[in-house]
Amino acid sequence: MRIFKFGGASVKDAAGIRNVYEVLQIVGHEDVLLVVSAMGKTTNALEVVVKNYMDKSKELKESLQDVKKYHSEILLDLFEDDKHKVFSDVAAHFADMEYFLGHNKSPNYNFVYDQIVSYGELISTVILSHYMNYRSISTTWIDVRNFIKTDSTFRDANVDWEQTQKNISKNVKRKQLNITQGFLGSDENGFTTTLGREGSDYTAAIFAYCLNADSVTIWKDVPGVMNADPRYFENATLLNQISYREAIELAFYGATVIHPKTLQPLQGKEIPLYVKSFLNPKLPGTSVSKGADLDPQLSCFIVKKNQLLISLSSIDFSFIMEENISEIFALLHKYKMKVSLIQNSAISFSVCVDDKFGNFQELKATLSKKFKVSYNENVSLYTIRHFDDKASKMVEKDKKVLVKQISRETLQIVTLES
């Protein structure tokens, strides 16, 4: 079985849905499982719904209507008959969402987030499944929440691999086209959970691992994995083949083409990963597999925007020792700060983090009891794998460097843009 993952950009409109059909006609669709994200920017739009709901905003109804209208326009473009079953199936999901909004009693933002945002994937896969059937490709729509079981860490759930393995190996039927949702799971109480933003790649890897799949293909709007993000760097070069190790390093440092959690389950069973273009499906793309670390050997550039640089110093000029660092990391874990860079001296400690849950003010209040806290918001973290002087100078040009760190193969700098 092959696992294909199609992200939001590939199904952002009716033309995108039609293109997925064309891609499947070219590469085949028998014994395939499709993992599909929400359409376009639907996740962002549903986040607005969640915010309006939690804030008890008068704009809640309008924000929900915007999501309905967006999907309705796609449906009307794809299906000539507005009595087609897809219309009632999509309407049923929106009705379920509105029922939750009307009856929920939990004040937990992360819980509410997962219950609402998940409808993006449920609705996109319903539309895609019906369209494939409409175009004479028979599909089986499956609810991923019945397969991937997790703990109750809403918005960043951990997979219960033993139960998930049983569910998938026993119930996923082969020799057909299965369509399911990325990003989602459910806890032991049956509540929807999510695996973290951009988690659909991880979903594909979970299914591949549990099914001993032949391969995973992530379909993107780029030719494959580039050595730099073309939005920020000129003359980005396609990487034809990279090893699991190199891909894990790139993903860890923030390369957005592959989700960081995706590689480990694939590497464990040596399942190859391909990153290919849904605009040009015949192109070879990038192969991630066992082999040389990087081919060709060239510098790889990664940038993470909107980071937070926190610098701590001891109030009484005492050393910041192991017990202090242990306490700091416990707090970073508690407040869900993703650490990207660490640097310390005798009486200071700096860390560059991603505050994706907006917990910094609480963390700062706690840290201020023991340390002098200074910080810079909206900094950029640049990482260069296999760096040289030319690459370093190019990145540092016209920027104020706040932190610079060099190891054998990797250079990282935290900058304020000029």
Known binding-site positions for substrate: 43, 121
CATH 3.40.1160.10 maps onto the chain at 2-213
Coil, helix or strand at residue 201: helix
The DSSP bridge pattern shows strands 338-344 and 348-354 to be antiparallel
Which pLDDT score is estimated for 318? 79
Known binding-site positions: 5-8, 43, 121, 231
Please say whether the beta carbons of 258 and 273 come within 8 A.
Answer: yes
Per-residue pLDDT tens, the chain, 418 aa: give them: 999 999 999 999 999 999 999 999 999 999 999 999 999 999 999 999 999 999 999 999 999 999 999 999 999 999 999 999 999 999 999 999 999 999 999 999 999 999 999 999 999 999 999 999 999 999 999 999 999 999 999 999 999 999 999 999 999 999 999 999 999 999 999 999 999 877 899 999 999 999 999 999 999 998 998 888 888 888 888 989 999 888 888 887 877 778 778 998 999 899 999 999 999 999 999 999 987 665 456 889 999 999 999 999 888 777 788 888 899 999 999 999 999 999 988 888 999 999 988 999 999 999 999 899 999 999 999 999 989 888 889 999 888 999 999 998 899 999 987 6
Burial of 69 (0-12, 13-18, 19+ CB in 10 A): exposed
Tell me the two tokens of residue 43.
């996740």
Which pLDDT score is estimated for 258? 80
Amino acid at position 26, single letter:
I
Instruction: Give the domain 300-417 fold.
Output: VC0802-like (3.30.2130)
Quick one: CA dihedral 201, 203, 205, 211, positive or negative? negative
Measured in degrees and rounded to the nearest 5, phi and psi for residue 21 equal -55, -45
Which pLDDT score is estimated for 316? 79
Known binding-site positions for ATP: 5-8, 231
The CATH class of the 2-213 domain is alpha beta
Please say whether the beta carbons of 373 and 384 come within 8 A.
Answer: no
**Strand positions, DSSP E, 89-176:** 139-141
Nearest to 43 by CA among 145, 98, 119: 119
Which pLDDT score is estimated for 328? 93
Which pLDDT score is estimated for 414? 95
Which pLDDT score is estimated for 324? 85
Nearest to 339 by CA among 412, 244, 262: 412
CATH 3.30.2130.10 maps onto the chain at 300-417
| Calpha distance 215→28 (Å, rounded) | 14
Please say whether the beta carbons of 346 and 319 come within 8 A.
Answer: yes
